[in-house]
Amino acid sequence: MAQLFPRGSNLAWKLAIIVVLIFATAVFFGPWFIDRSPYVTYQNVPRVQPVPFSHRHHANELGIDCRYCHTSVEKSSFAGLPATEICMTCHSEIWKNSPMLEPVRASFRDNQPIEWTRVNMLPEYVYFDHSIHIAKGIGCTTCHGPIGSMTLTWAGGELKMSWCLNCHRHPADYVRPKNRVFDINYAPPRNQQQLGNQLVKEYGIYSLTDCVTCHR
């Protein structure tokens, strides 16, 4: 009987099926991976700023408390960006002639705020309140990452809904003593689960996962 297809046809069809499966997988899962990639979230990507501010130097090496610059973090939904006057409190005397700090001096002279680049951004339809998280024992580094080691600041978390819900569903994994909230070198203890369960009860933390919690 005559052979209708050449011997290589089986291999060609197998390869074609594999290519189709890879393409279908890429089409189905590709957008998901792209949406959570640094290309979209900027997670772990240092952001260029008008002044190359170093959290590592200011917050870690010099020990400046987060609240000195982010003045409204304990009482407002917005942590607040430091006014130029705060910068000039030190830099009118320290490195006062540094070329790198000219944008700060110009901002002070001209009474024009520095246009900092936002590092952590949420969509406008998402409600987030810094003050309640601080009040319930959620530390800065829990969401912002190892801020004390950042010479240039980047987003420490992807800030996607699933990322937030993971914390809301399991608050005991992340809560810390209130007096350690602003400790940028805090590390969860070995008994975090036991301590976390205790603090969740003590601080009155509820696993809020209703849509209206964040979408108002």
> How far is 147 from 141, CA to CA, in rounded Å?
6
Quote the pLDDT of residue 5.
58
Give burial (CB, 10 Å; 0-12/13-18/19+) of 134: buried
Quote the pLDDT of residue 90.
95
> How far is 6 from 4, CA to CA, in rounded Å?
7
Note the pLDDT tens digit of each residue in 104-130: 999 999 999 999 999 998 989 999 999
**What is the distance, to the nearest Å, from the Cα of residue 18 to the centroid of all Cα atoms in its chain?**
38
Quote the pLDDT of residue 74.
96
Is residue 214 within 8 A of residue 173, CB to CB? The reply is: no
The pTM score is 0.82
Quote the pLDDT of residue 21.
84
Q: What is the per-residue burial (b if ≥16 Cβ within 10 Å, else e) of 179-191?
A: eebbbbebeeeee
- pLDDT, one tens digit for every residue, the chain (216 residues): 455 656 666 777 778 888 888 888 877 777 777 777 887 788 999 999 999 999 999 999 999 999 999 999 999 999 989 999 999 999 999 999 999 999 999 999 999 999 999 999 898 999 999 999 999 999 999 999 999 999 999 999 989 999 999 999 999 999 999 999 999 999 999 999 999 999 999 999 999 999 999 998
Quote the pLDDT of residue 92.
94
Give burial (CB, 10 Å; 0-12/13-18/19+) of 91: middle
Q: What is the per-residue burial (b if ≥16 Cβ within 10 Å, else e) of 118-127?
A: ebbeeeeeee
- 3-class DSSP state for residue 87? helix
Is residue 144 within 8 A of residue 183, CB to CB? The reply is: no
Nearest 10 degrees: Cα torsion 104, 55, 129, 189: -170
Is residue 199 within 8 A of residue 81, CB to CB? The reply is: no
